[in-house]
Amino acid sequence: MSEAIAEPMALPVKPLEAESFGDLYERTFSRVYAYVGSLLRDRAAAEDVTAQAFERAYRKRRSYRRGKGSADAWLFGIARNAALDELRRRKRHAGLHSEPEDADAAATAHEQAETALRRQVVRAALDQLEPRERELVALKFMGGLSNTEIARVLGLSESNTSTKLHRTITKLREACRDEA
């Protein structure tokens, strides 16, 4: 299955070579894992899907075209498809349910109380978002993608993506105020 990401553009065509794939991995590993982990909220599944995404990307590296956007957006598109496939699989197997992402309790204990409280508030606000909104947040803040790259990953226009992102952040701010 093709990992379709947004519309093509007439820009120079250059495949992703093996040596630059290593650079891509170094640059994106933690962000891809964070994004996938935010979507799945299951450490084991996040590891499987992240590994799967990089393997798929490696296999398909020759199909990458610069004209279709940045390599990061391309890779996140693959990771997104893998994560959504995993979510669908989980929905089919009703017995399986995701375990919450384990909070780093040891770390929070050492953090200042204000920071810990803020983190709790943000997590509670995130829980109030729709899954699609949470995905936007994950792509922006965990994946560290630009708005253009998010638009590529989701197959939306840039202005539409910006509007949706702004709406989500506004909702999140209000939820944070309510939680606080």
Partner 1 sequence: MTKPEDSALIERELAAVDEALASGFADAADHGGPDAYAAHDADERELRALALALAADPPQAAPEFERELGRRVAQAFPRERAKAKRSALRAAALRPSAWLPKRLPKRLAPALGVAAAMVVAVVVAVSLRDGGEESTVKSLSSQRSSKAESTGRATPRDLPAPSERTAAPPPGPAQPGFDPTRRERRIERSARLTLAAPANRLERLGDDVTGIADRYDGFVLSSSLSTGEEPSPGGTFELRVPAGDLRPALRDLARLGTVRSRSQTGEDVTVRYVSLGDQLQGARAERRGLLRRLERAGSASQADALRRRLDISSRRISGLNGQLKALRASTDYARVTVTLEARRGSAGAPAGSGDGIGGALRDALGSLTASVELLVRALGVLLPLGLLATLGWAVARTVRRRHRDAALS
Residues 74-113 within binding reach of partner 1 (CB under 8 A)? 81, 84-85, 87-88, 91, 101, 104
Q: Please tell me whether residue 150 binds partner 1 under the rule CB under 8 A.
A: no
Tokens 């893998």 found at? 82
Distance between CA atoms of 78 and 160, rounded to whole angstroms? Answer: 21
CA angle 135, 140, 144 (to 5 degrees): 130
Which of 6, 16, 50, 74 touches partner 1 by CB under 8 A? 50
Which of 8, 11, 163, 178 touches partner 1 by CB under 8 A? 163
Distance between CA atoms of 128 and 173, rounded to whole angstroms? Answer: 11
DSSP state of 94: T
Q: Please tell me whether residue 14 binds partner 1 under the rule CB under 8 A.
A: no
CB of 33 to partner 1, least distance (A): 4
DSSP per-residue codes, 35-72: HHHHHH--HHHHHHHHHHHHHHHHHTGGG--GGG--HH
Which of 58, 124, 128, 148 touches partner 1 by CB under 8 A? 58
Rounded to 10°, the helix 158-179/113-127 angle is: 120
Residues that bind partner 1 (CB under 8 A): 1-2, 4, 13, 18, 21-22, 25, 29-31, 33-34, 37-38, 43, 46-47, 50-51, 54-55, 58-59, 62, 81, 84-85, 87-88, 91, 101, 104, 118-119, 122-123, 126, 131-132, 135, 137, 140-142, 144, 146-147, 155, 159, 162-163, 165-166, 169, 172-173, 176
